[in-house]
């Protein structure tokens, strides 16, 4: 992952003071400081007789974050923090070959970016000073890295003569900032109330409720002429619980709901109901039967289909440029992080009745908000719909401004960590009703003389046996084998109805990184999915012992 991201997130974690939410000044002092220093740097920044920058960009993020958590009705944490930081990107050389896409040891921000904390006061002179110093440092590092890169590549025969940076149409998009309300007392009261629901669940051993609310004001400016301002907000509430089966198997469950603000989340009574349902389900799973091994059809019902899409296919739909290096071990390791889908463009990865479209321009689907909507990405490229899979065939991948083979341009998808999905639609032209889908599942069960089939309603949390007569029975959670992109290629059927699943999402090199701080919100819109054959087996590993005594609250 780019050092820009890791250092930027680290800066956020160091912001330990509480500040008021930012308000936009009548005249935008931040944008003025960026513009003036950019203009001066492009004209004057040059070391001796060495090359001048051909590209400079500034990205300022002014982020206010509310975090609070509670357990069993008692408050654990609570606070509001604010930090403003700047990412400077300086490129020396030209679009064909510059100081990017190269790694050395020790790493120097990949020779591309410099990160600094800016004052949260709109002090024009101090902003200019900090921007100047960061730009100067980034330029010097860019010169050094470009020199190393040229030396390393001098005697190599390039397999592809790919440019290092794509040329894109400049964008001007100055959206007004509309700050999200940060009500810490209300948030603390909510998590305390929700965490106290577990006082009615003696079979739950550990539990918590947490709420994270972020509001980020973004300024972006580059030397090509792009100038953007936009606001990015998100609220994620997570209620987690864990118990153990009677044989000691750990059993986790959770409720996670995301929105743009606290007000967009379900009501307290609705959240309470969902958490109580989750706790009751987890208590039943403790005594549910465990499958030794199951091979057969599996139905991912409702939002479980969208969850499966988010975990299995979505991380592989992201392109990544493997950097070169003057250290062979680094270059070899970096090459392993490239999604294998980059070598499969044109091949079939889904049934011919299906396509996948990433559409950041769509704000809702059938009255359900889509949380990945945005107008401009973090590289100043206009966001637009991209058809990734058409009639089952992989056409392209989501990409940044780092060209890869057969994908020379950005798809307007750079979000925090690199290219990421926004609103990912899995559409099907021959979908059937939910009743027909379950009927097909039971037909497969009968044809194979199985005792039961499997229905997943929440990935990793709720799974049921379904018997030939149609009745269902909750079963113990296990591990799936074969739930990969090959299984998607051979999907047996899907519903015509689509379901929305929204979650903070971060993927890199074809892999999903759940729980990554600062991950953008992404919405996945997909049908119920029927897989003809998957393997379900018990979780492996040593089992911990059950607690020796009762939960003290219930030991009365």
DSSP states along 169-192: ---EEEPPP-PPP--HHHHHHHHH
Per-residue pLDDT tens digits for 353-400: 999 999 999 999 999 999 999 999 999 999 999 999 999 999 999 999
pLDDT of residue 213: 97
Phi, then psi, of 427 in degrees rounded to 5: -105, 150
What do you get for the CA distance between the two ends of the chain, in Å?
Answer: 52
pLDDT value, residue 13: 34
pLDDT at 109 over 60: no
Interval 246-281: pLDDT, tens: 888 899 999 999 999 999 999 999 999 999 999 999
pLDDT at 427 over 90: yes
Residue 110: the pLDDT is: 56
The pLDDT confidence band at residue 234, using thresholds 50, 70 and 90, is: very high
Gyration radius of the chain over CA positions: 26
DSSP readout, 439-482? HHHHHHHHHTT-S-EEEEEETTTEEEEE-TTS-EEE----EEES
Q: Is 191 left (phi over 0), alpha (psi -120 to 50) or beta?
A: alpha
3-state secondary structure 505-529: CCEECCEECCCCCCCCEEEEEEEEE
Burial 294-312 (b: 16+ CB within 10 A, else e): bebbbbbbbbbbbbbbbbb
Residue 444 pLDDT level (bands cut at 50, 70, 90)? very high
For position 107, what pLDDT does the model report? 67
Tokens 């591309």 found at: 112
Q: What is the average pLDDT score of the chain? A: 91
Percent of the chain with pLDDT over 70: 94
For residue 451 the two structure tokens come to 């005792």
pLDDT in tens, 461-492: 899 999 999 999 999 888 899 999 999 999 99
Give the mean model confidence (pLDDT) for residues 10-28: 42
Q: For residues 90 and 131, what is the distance between their CA atoms, to the nearest angstrom?
A: 12
pLDDT over 90 at 80, yes or no: yes
Q: What percent of the chain has pLDDT over 90?
A: 77
Give the residue carrying structure tokens 């899995």. Answer: 426
């Amino acid at each position: 992952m780019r050092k820009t991201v890791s250092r930027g997130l680290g800066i956020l974690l160091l912001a330990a003071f509480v500040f008021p939410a930012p308000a936009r000044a009548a005249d935008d002092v931040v944008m003025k400081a960026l513009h003036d220093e950019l203009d001066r740097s492009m004209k004057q920044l040059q070391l001796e007789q060495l090359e001048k920058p051909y590209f400079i960009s500034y990205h300022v993020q002014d982020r206010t974050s509310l975090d609070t958590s509670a357990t069993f009705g008692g408050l654990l944490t609570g606070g509001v923090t604010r930090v403003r930081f700047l990412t400077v990107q300086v490129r020396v050389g030209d679009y064909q070959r510059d100081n990017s896409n190269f790694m050395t040891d020790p790493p120097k921000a990949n020779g591309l970016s410099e990160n600094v904390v800016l004052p949260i006061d709109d002090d024009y002179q101090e902003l200019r000073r900090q921007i100047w110093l960061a730009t100067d440092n980034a330029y010097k590092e860019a010169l050094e890295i470009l020199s190393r890169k040229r030396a390393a590549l001098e005697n190599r025969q390039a397999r592809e003569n790919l440019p290092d940076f794509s040329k894109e149409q400049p964008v001007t998009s100055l959206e007004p900032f509309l700050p999200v309300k940060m009500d810490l007392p209300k948030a603390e009261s909510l998590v305390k109330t929700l965490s106290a629901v577990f006082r009615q669940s003696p079979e739950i051993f550990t539990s918590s409720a947490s709420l994270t609310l972020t509001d980020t004001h973004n300024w972006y400016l580059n030397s090509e002429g792009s100038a953007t301002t936009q606001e990015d907000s998100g609220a994620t509430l997570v209620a987690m619980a864990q118990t153990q089966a009677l044989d000691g198997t750990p059993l986790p469950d959770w409720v996670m709901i995301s929105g743009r603000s606290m007000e967009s989340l379900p009501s307290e009574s609705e959240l309470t109901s969902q958490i109580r349902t989750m706790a009751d389900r987890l208590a039943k799973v403790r005594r549910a039967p465990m499958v030794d091994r199951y091979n057969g059809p599996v139905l991912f019902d409702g939002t479980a289909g969208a969850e499966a899409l988010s975990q299995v296919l979505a991380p592989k739909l992201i392109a990544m440029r493997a950097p070169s290096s003057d250290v062979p071990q680094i270059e070899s390791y970096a090459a392993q992080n490239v999604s294998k889908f980059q070598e499969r463009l044109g091949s079939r990865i889904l049934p011919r009745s299906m396509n996948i479209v990433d559409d950041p321009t769509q704000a809702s689907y059938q009255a359900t908000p889509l949380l990945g909507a945005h107008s401009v990405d973090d590289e100043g490229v206009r966001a637009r719909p991209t058809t990734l899979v058409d009639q089952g065939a992989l056409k392209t991948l989501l990409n940044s401004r780092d060209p890869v083979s057969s994908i020379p341009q950005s798809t307007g998808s750079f979000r925090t960590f690199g290219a990421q999905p926004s609103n990912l639609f899995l559409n099907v032209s021959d979908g059937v009703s939910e009743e027909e889908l379950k009927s097909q599942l039971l037909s497969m069960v009968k044809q194979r003389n199985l005792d039961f089939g499997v229905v997943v309603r929440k990935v990793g949390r709720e799974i049921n046996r379904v018997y030939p007569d149609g009745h269902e029975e909750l079963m113990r959670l296990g591990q799936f084998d074969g739930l990969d992109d090959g299984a998607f290629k051979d999907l047996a059927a899907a519903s015509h109805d689509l379901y929305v699943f929204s979650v903070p999402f971060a993927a890199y090199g074809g892999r999903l990184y759940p729980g990554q701080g600062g991950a953008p919100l992404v919405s996945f819109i997909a049908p119920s999915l029927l897989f003809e054959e998957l393997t379900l087996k018990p979780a492996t590993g040593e089992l911990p012992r059950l607690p020796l005594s009762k939960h003290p609250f219930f030991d009365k």
